[in-house]
Structure 1
């Protein structure tokens, strides 16, 4: 029996049984007929006539009629979202929003969708008094899709409300800080302040290290050899005094290493490695 696809084995066996090649019916035949395997998916590519931008080709069939056939393009279709254009324009108008810190927690669940959606969402303040850039982008898209507002007007309206809420939040935060400072509240230093303090401590250690190095140099200079000046006045005899003492056999005393007797050297004894334990 020729090799077949697994989903077509029972069909091939049925043909062989009708032809008399297989005399006895297999045990699994009726079970497979009662529960046939799933058919394979179609090999033909899906129709892309609504998205294909390439020109169609006229193919003449066997009957002589022309069929409009489009070439098969295996490349994926472009993924396009309207909010990407709105977000790109928003960050082009507000570049400093990209520097605003965002907390990213690992292994956190996906945030649930806000309950105010669609036609119920008419003002950006419904999402809070401190909206994020993504809230402004979604609000502009919501105005365009559900309230039939032109995209340019929806964007300008969303940006105006975003700036107003951010200004209100900034003024309220500043006044609250001044009020707390006036009432004597004490705030812990921020991460930026702690970073500057660590940097100053590190720089102080460098200055201390420089002082220690200077002290070590001064200590080394303090113990240098200093020749004491002679109190008595002497005149240079041009070596005549040395020659006279040499002729008289007088040994000079300014070189103790030459006048003192040589010490008897201690005998060097080799250790017995057989009896002496070796420390490791």
Structure 2
């Protein structure tokens, strides 16, 4: 079908009708009657929707085109899980737990469902804040404890396991030192040394800044003192000259 290039949708039907009338096309295309009954639209953008008010007397009114859409119109909805609030509370009370190394790789994303949270410690899983949260959820669902009561129970169990692990680690370190092991400086000692170096560097800079400031003060004060001395000498000379130039009482009586 020889249609003109860049033909608009409405002209397709007209040109096809003309081709049928001239005999160029032997039969109607399958879409001919459909386009004749439902003409294509020339506007490719969405039209302004009609807003129907609650009152039937007002009738429909067109939305204002000047109304700006919110910037969050295309943002996804915020999804809130029950564990999110528990995590927020736990890590607010224990911020240093976030500094511990964690394994972020999971098999299915629901690995916590494969453990029995009737107890805090699980085989094959390191103890962390997520263990406390899942334990708290289990107590709330199965033991019917309140949020605060379940949090206290899970938190005390967590403290007990942490203290036992700390004691075991200290005993292992002492046994290793007794047979000649050397561990070097601890993180606390390294941190204290770095802090002392930073304080010494700050002290040197502060002393240099104080010395420069003292020099500026002395440089500004020196010209002022010289001018003051000169002014005092001029005042003294003027006073002495005035006294010398005044006539004596005898000379005044002779006159």
Whichever of the two has the greater Rg, that structure is 1
Is the structural similarity TM-score above 0.5? Answer: no
Query: Which TM-score band (shorter chain)?
Result: 0.3 to 0.5
Q: Considering fraction of residues, name the structure with more helix.
A: 2
